[in-house]
Homo-oligomer: A and B are copies of this chain.
Amino acid sequence: MEISITTLLDFTGTFAFAVSGIRMASGKQMDWFGAYIVGLVTAIGGGTLRDLLLGVTPFWISDGKYFLTTGIALLTTLIFKEKLFRLGSTLFLFDTLGLGLFTVVGITKSMASGLPMWACIVMGAVTGSVGGVVRDILLNEVPLLLRRDIYALACVAGGIMYFTCSLLKFPTGITEVIAAVTVIVIRIMAVRYKLHLPVLEPIKKKV
């Protein structure tokens, strides 16, 4: 296995997503194995749904590194506990890097399957954000994604940027970097400045 930048980012994204799942599982009376599964599902859930929708073999079936990485994430969490989360902003950066990378992976895989542009953008957002949705469903909570956070929307923006660069005939590598950076910057801005869309007010049957 060559250690390319993609491999490194893929590892980082998987690790960060797994840690986020394991951390949210903590304090819910789950055993280590349960926490491992929540972490795993957070890391591979989005890509798995994307591959099912594309009709291709799920990416992790031929590559054990996602299962191993989740195991490392669990060990790290067990050893460092709170210390890990003093690094809160570092972890957030990892998670955001993963989000940007996974979105671009989702787009390129969908293009290879011959999907139309808008469907590739959807698949990018699915790859980046569905893992967190499954995590929240398993933990019996309303998915964070649906609440006040700009998350999937950052993936959509990254997707639109991808095809803008593509239409402008940018080289593929540059296009991918710009798209990933777009996701990352929007996500960071949204969290830093507490940007969010308006909340949908209750609609009652009769006023």
Q: Give the interface of A toward B (CB within 8 A).
A: 22-23, 25-35, 37-38, 48, 52-53, 55, 57-58, 61-62, 64, 67, 77-78, 81-82, 84-86, 88, 115-116, 118-119, 122, 133, 137-143, 145-148, 152-153, 196-207
Contact indicator A146/B142 (Cβ below 8 Å): no
Contact indicator A197/B142 (Cβ below 8 Å): no
Contact indicator B197/A82 (Cβ below 8 Å): no
Copies in the complex: 3
Within the complex, the shortest CB–CB distance from A47 to chain B, in Å, comes to: 12
Within the complex, the shortest CB–CB distance from A167 to chain B, in Å, comes to: 18
Known A34-B147, A61-B119, A115-B61; judge A82-B206 contact (CB<8 A): yes
